[in-house]
Structure 1
Amino acid sequence: MSMAQRIQGQPVLIIGGGRGGTALLEMFMGDNLVSVLAIVDTNPDAPGLRLAKDLGIPTFTDAAEALQACKGYADCIVYNLSHDDSIPGKVSEVFGDNRVSSGPEVKLFWQIVMNVKQTKDALERSQNQLQAIIHNAMDGIITISEAGEILGFNPAAEHIFGYPQQDVLGKNVSVLMPEPQRSEHDGYIKRYLQTGQARIMGISGREVVAVRKSGEQFPIEMSISEMVLGGLRYFVGIVRDITERKLAEQKIAHLAHHDYLTNLPNRALFLNNLDQSLLFAERNGHKVAILFLDLDGFKQVNDSLGHDVGDLLLQEVASRLKQTVRASDTVARVGGDEFNFVLNNIESGEHAALVANKIIAVLSEPFDLKGQRCQIGGSIGISVFPDDSDDLEKLIKQADSAMYLAKHSGKNNCKHFRETLPG
């Protein structure tokens, strides 16, 4: 019975359903130029026949019957991958000419097919491995055309930016940038393509700011490289969200310049702020006061109520001190119960004394610490730039000397440095 019907591609019949016939069938099924009419093998369970059945291709166990079924295709080519030497004669009887490939010819062809299949399989494995790496990478991987359009956006990039892949494919990559970089991006790519001059191309780990779908700006570390495939130029961006790292760096930097207990500036930041204040005051003809505060009665509270209560007291003291001075001034914890102040742009030493007395009054108010009521005071020494000195270290020592005079004068009061001088 003939099975002739209109087909697309060169009609072929495969005789032999072993490894070679199976490989040939797989290759032909991926080629629109070939149409497999049927496959034959005396073993009905041959792998080639099983595959053909899955693909809806007719199968036969008798070569003569298969040849008769294909008789209606006058240009049919028969590939004989069996060991049956009678096949060429049977083909000649049906088609009347030499239409069969067999023997050394088909063996060579089979080897070529197997090599192609192995190469194809290796390429597919390589592509699958690459896709798996891209899919599971912790860093965002974004592929961009030379026009700036997003062509690839892996799951990590989706997580980082908050966009599903389908929402950004085909869009300009500048959608991931804040202004003014967003408006400048196309011009940057154009200049690079014309001149080859790059600002970020090839630079590894450059830190920039990006934008999430929500509009939130955040820091990223980015590396961009260029590649050419099939004569087309592409750019590949590797992106890492460094928000947590930046927060950690900021925390470390903060801890390096602030007291861990009270969150006030520490001695290092106090000295830096004082240095800047003196430079500004000298340039503008202003005065700056340095106050040195030592708490009165703190040791007794700390020893009698415990260090936990003592720490809580220091935190409450810090809170009151910050509320007492201006935002432009500095209050720092420089020792156990010692605090320094920088009062910027004061009118005179008397004005500094008014602030000092205000601090003493604030500290004199009782503290309620975990149900424990306690009361402390403070002794404050004052020095003024440039009246007492124009040297930073001298000004601090002068305020320190004045503070000790205040303590020896009954505590809970303030003294100016000039009061420590004889006569």
Structure 2
Amino acid sequence: MAGPISIIALVAILAKHLIQTTSASTDSHGNLDAILEQSPAAICVTEFTDSRCVYANRAACDLLGYTPGDCSQVDIESMIAEEDCSAQQLRLEALTSGDIARSALTVRRKDGSLLAADVSVRMIDGGKFVWCLADITEQKNTEDALRNEVKFTDDLIKSLPGIFYLADKDGRFLRWNANFEAMSGYSAGELERAHPLDFIPEDDKHAFVGGNLIEMFTTGRSLAESYFLTKDRQRIPFFFTGTKAKLGQNDCLLGVGLDITSRKTAEEQIYYLAHYDALTNLPNRILFNDRISHTLSFASRYGQQFAVLFVDLDSFKEINDTQGHNTGDVVLQQAALRISQSLRESDTVARIGGDEFLVLLPGISGAEEACIVADKILTAVTHPIDVDGSEIIVSSSIGISIFPDHGSDNHSLVKAADEAMYHAKRSGKNRYHLKRDAMPPSDSVAKHLRHC
């Protein structure tokens, strides 16, 4: 079907030909009327100075809700419902340009209902205007629906709580949400030149299949936890999910990232509560058992020795009972600190309850080295502790067991150290005791034993 512009041009040509062919005016008028009445396009004719129609074909009457013959009731000016465009403006544009003026307008029918129409007008010889109207309501509804869908998608992308991006197969960003700019600290212009992997720290890129972003998606590895690297080099924990998508005929990568800082913080808090002592910040029994298991496995494989020290504060109950629990807490914290300061970085000290501590000394050369550490702990703990201006003096008793001499598993080594600690207490406290084994201690070890 011919469009509105081609139809109105055809009508204009016919009308011009009709005016010029005066010798057969009656027949020509009849022929033109027949053509216009049979036209599927809605066509109206107005005078130069009046917006009321002097002619409206059947299609125009049907479109506008008038009966045939009521063309004089059709007022082009009043039926156009647009506030920012009028029939007068279209006529003026057609007059000044000498060509067709056209606009998509809302048109009011006789019954007051509205429809979307493509309105075209052209001035013809004789001082008349030819109007052509095409109902584009369905087309406009489709366009509005598409526009609303696009707006909904844009609003959805903008409202996503994390970051969103669409990149082509070369990693060039095509789209991203506002959160991406806000989170990354980069401007839109900078993001246009960036690559998704620019936001992943080097030591985390192995999670993205060796830095090949396309391979990550095509091999199905679309989930990964990593840090999101901002412009000012902050590392924010993120959970990334991505998939391969199509943009027209081209493959692209759609990625979504969620900030999991809160989750990571909660996980760290849960881990801390499960593995550390809240009063002293030392590892608890669970974490100590885990570390001694690793040490046991390593020492067994490479034929190494390690020591377990059981440290118990002497007469701590009396301090709690006479000075109060607040003072007792300070004593425990200071004792924990002093034991820690007596150890190497590779050693572990744990509070396993009350005033009891366990110490793990991996990779020692023998019992003599363990005795030296125990002696350092005894000396450190006995220094006076200042509590609100008062000096509190506390001592400790230490039991020592050596792998593999006194046990081959966690339980037996801790039990042996516990038994040795009680021997030290029975021998007068403020001393250490090395668990006895079948073989007598060497002369060098014997020299370091204090009142054992």
TM-score (norm 2): 0.69
Verify the 8 A CA contact 2:406 2:437 in the aligned structure 1. no
Superposition pairs of residues 222-371 of structure 1, within 5 angstroms? 222-371=240-389
Per the alignment, in what secondary structure is the counterpart of residue 281 of structure 2? Answer: coil
Letter in 2 for 1:122: A
1:379 and 2:403 correspond: no
The 1:387/1:171 distance shift into structure 2, 3 A limit, reads: closer
Match of 1:52 in 2: 85
State how far apart, in whole Å, the 2-side matches of 1:14 and 1:166 are. 54
The 1:187/1:311 distance shift into structure 2, 3 A limit, reads: closer
Match of 1:188 in 2: 212
Verify the 8 A CA contact 2:45 2:128 in the aligned structure 1. no
The 1:136/1:13 distance shift into structure 2, 3 A limit, reads: farther
State how far apart, in whole Å, the 2-side matches of 1:135 and 1:254 are. 37
Aligned residues: 359
Verify the 8 A CA contact 2:397 2:425 in the aligned structure 1. yes
The 1:187/1:412 distance shift into structure 2, 3 A limit, reads: closer
Match of 1:35 in 2: none
Letter in 1 for 2:160: A
CA deviation profile, 1:108-162 (whole Å, cap 9, x unmatched): x32xx11112222222222222211111221111111222111112111122222
The 1:95/1:290 distance shift into structure 2, 3 A limit, reads: same
Letter in 2 for 1:124: R
Match of 1:206 in 2: 224
Quick one: percent identity of the two aligned structures? 32
Letter in 2 for 1:47: A
1:178 and 2:201 correspond: yes
Letter in 1 for 2:144: D
The 1:287/1:136 distance shift into structure 2, 3 A limit, reads: same
Per the alignment, in what secondary structure is the counterpart of residue 47 of structure 1? Answer: coil
Letter in 2 for 1:280: F
Match of 2:15 in 1: none
1:73 and 2:94 correspond: no
Match of 2:39 in 1: none
Letter in 1 for 2:145: A
The 1:288/1:175 distance shift into structure 2, 3 A limit, reads: closer
* Bigger Cα displacement from structure 2, 310-319 vs 282-291: 282-291
Per the alignment, in what secondary structure is the counterpart of residue 407 of structure 2? Answer: coil
State how far apart, in whole Å, the 1-side matches of 2:258 and 2:367 are. 54
State how far apart, in whole Å, the 2-side matches of 1:74 and 1:242 are. 63
Per the alignment, in what secondary structure is the counterpart of residue 148 of structure 1? Answer: coil
The 1:172/1:325 distance shift into structure 2, 3 A limit, reads: closer
Verify the 8 A CA contact 1:13 1:76 in the aligned structure 2. no
CA deviation profile, 1:186-237 (whole Å, cap 9, x unmatched): 9835668xxx94253xx3x421333211233343211112332332333211
Per the alignment, in what secondary structure is the counterpart of residue 275 of structure 1? Answer: helix
- Name stretches of at least 5 consecutive residues in structure 2 with no aligned partner: 1-7, 13-42, 53-74, 111-122, 440-452
The 1:416/1:74 distance shift into structure 2, 3 A limit, reads: closer
Shift, 1:276, TM fit:
2.2
Shift, 1:351, TM fit:
3.3
Per the alignment, in what secondary structure is the counterpart of residue 365 of structure 1? Answer: coil
1:94 and 2:126 correspond: yes
Shift, 1:246, TM fit:
2.1
Per the alignment, in what secondary structure is the counterpart of residue 128 of structure 1? Answer: helix
1:154 and 2:177 correspond: yes
TM-align CA RMSD: 3.9
Letter in 1 for 2:434: H
* Bigger Cα displacement from structure 2, 303-312 vs 226-235: 226-235
Shift, 1:319, TM fit:
0.6
State how far apart, in whole Å, the 2-side matches of 1:374 and 1:209 are. 48
State how far apart, in whole Å, the 1-side matches of 2:93 and 2:181 are. 58
Verify the 8 A CA contact 2:397 2:430 in the aligned structure 1. yes
Letter in 2 for 1:271: N
The 1:300/1:114 distance shift into structure 2, 3 A limit, reads: same
State how far apart, in whole Å, the 2-side matches of 1:186 and 1:332 are. 39
TM-score (norm 1): 0.73
State how far apart, in whole Å, the 1-side matches of 2:94 and 2:316 are. 108
Q: 2:436 aligns with which of 411, 418, 421?
A: 418
1:129 and 2:124 correspond: no
CA deviation profile, 1:58-109 (whole Å, cap 9, x unmatched): 449xxxxx599749837679999877xxxxxxx8883799x554xxxx5xx3
Per the alignment, in what secondary structure is the counterpart of residue 258 of structure 2? Answer: strand
Match of 2:143 in 1: 120
Verify the 8 A CA contact 1:267 1:332 in the aligned structure 2. yes
